[in-house]
């Protein structure tokens, strides 16, 4: 109960601070949580003021509006009325309900508006960061969005496929960094790291489940990625060509590992107990020895 009341008070105080920050009437009170809440208000205002000039997708707006309306209906005046003591007189209860409900509606409304503004701003920043490359102001947001996707992935198969998608993204970034050897090399290092992570997760899942679906994903990725990475050799200087060839060698190793695991699954070999950066290292089938 204490925790519940404390959360309600924090929400109400947060609503007051948001209102004040937007030019509303000042409330000459102070809460022990103000230091934390003021920092959150500042973040919200900064996101709102500095959001990039991008168009938020209509589906996102519709979904957010539906969520806010559902929250308001679920936690609005009806909840307050149900919690009023039965012993209160009709007039007192009506006045109390009117005052409490008005304050709560304003508080919840302000909090929901703040959440909505922050969510839309973050969504816009995330969308604007999609084309960012190393050195751009929004590149950190782009990578943070990728980490969030990984955290929300439901399985190793999903995470493995995400890593391969990120490797494709790093390749696109590399094409814009031609002539900048340190930047070009760094982004290819990140691309290879994403490739290893994705291949390892997918080959491990395939070996543990004796299911070649993950290996199919690896082979599809390698086929397309190898052609695209090979295109970086055109017009490259010697240092860039040497670095590109390392990425090509990694892709060849990934395809070789996938084919070896596929053969091991086909001939019924047990799950490999050893492995490396690309996942399990299978034994050779008897007929292939």
Q: Which two tokens stand for residue 81?
A: 């009325």
Q: What confidence score (pLDDT) does residue 146 get?
A: 92
* Contacts (Cβ under 8 Å, ≥6 apart) of 134: 173, 177, 183, 186, 187
Q: Which two tokens stand for residue 62?
A: 């519709």
Give the whole-angstrom CA distance, residue 205 versus residue 171.
Answer: 25
- Burial pattern 36-54, b for ≥16 Cβ within 10 A else e, equals ebeeebeebbebeeebeee
Q: What confidence score (pLDDT) does residue 69 get?
A: 56
CA distances from 135 to 8, 173, 189, 266 (A): 43, 11, 16, 47
Give the whole-angstrom CA distance, residue 26 versus residue 38.
Answer: 14
Q: What confidence score (pLDDT) does residue 79 get?
A: 45
Give the whole-angstrom CA distance, residue 216 versus residue 221.
Answer: 9
pLDDT < 70 positions in the chain: 1-8, 10, 22-29, 32-33, 36-37, 39, 41, 43-129, 287-289
Pick from 218, 250, 247, 254: nearest CA to 233? 247
Q: What confidence score (pLDDT) does residue 208 get?
A: 93
Q: What confidence score (pLDDT) does residue 83 get?
A: 45
Give the residue carrying structure tokens 């290879």: 192
Q: What confidence score (pLDDT) does residue 159 get?
A: 96
pTM metric for this prediction: 0.59
Q: What confidence score (pLDDT) does residue 137 get?
A: 81
Q: What angle do CA 214, 215, 216 make, to 5 degrees?
A: 90
Q: What confidence score (pLDDT) does residue 115 get?
A: 52
Q: What confidence score (pLDDT) does residue 230 get?
A: 97
pLDDT tens by residue, 111-120:
555 554 444 4
**Longest Cα pair distance anywhere in the chain, in angstroms?**
92
- Cβ pair 64, 119 in contact under 8 A: yes
Q: What angle do CA 107, 113, 114 make, to 5 degrees?
A: 90
């Amino acid at each position: 109960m204490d925790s519940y009341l404390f959360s309600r008070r924090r929400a109400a105080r947060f609503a007051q601070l948001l209102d004040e920050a937007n030019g509303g009437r000042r409330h000459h009170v102070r809460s022990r949580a103000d230091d934390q809440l003021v920092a959150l208000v500042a973040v919200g205002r900064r996101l709102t003021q500095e959001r990039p000039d991008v168009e938020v997708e209509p589906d996102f707006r519709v979904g957010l509006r539906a969520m806010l309306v559902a929250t308001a209906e679920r936690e609005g005046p009806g909840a307050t009325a149900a919690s009023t003591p039965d012993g209160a007189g009709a007039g007192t209860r009506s006045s109390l309900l009117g005052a409490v409900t008005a304050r709560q509606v304003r508080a919840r409304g302000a909090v929901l508006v703040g959440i909505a503004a922050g969510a839309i701003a973050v969504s816009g920043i995330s969308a604007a960061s999609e084309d960012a490359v190393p050195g751009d102001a929004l590149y950190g947001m782009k990578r943070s969005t990728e980490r969030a996707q990984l955290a929300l992935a439901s399985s190793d198969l999903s995470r493995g496929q995400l890593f391969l998608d990120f490797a494709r993204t790093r390749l696109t970034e590399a094409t814009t960094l031609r002539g900048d050897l340190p930047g070009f090399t760094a982004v290819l290092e990140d691309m290879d790291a994403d490739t290893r992570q994705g291949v390892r997760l997918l080959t491990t899942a395939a070996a543990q489940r004796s299911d070649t679906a993950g290996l199919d994903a690896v082979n599809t990725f390698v086929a397309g990625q190898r052609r695209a990475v090979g295109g970086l050799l055109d017009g490259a200087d010697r240092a860039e060509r040497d670095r590109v060839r390392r990425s090509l060698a990694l892709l060849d190793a990934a395809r070789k590992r996938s084919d070896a695991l596929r053969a091991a699954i086909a001939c019924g070999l047990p799950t490999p107990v050893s492995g490396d950066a690309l996942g399990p290292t299978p034994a050779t089938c008897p007929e292939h020895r």
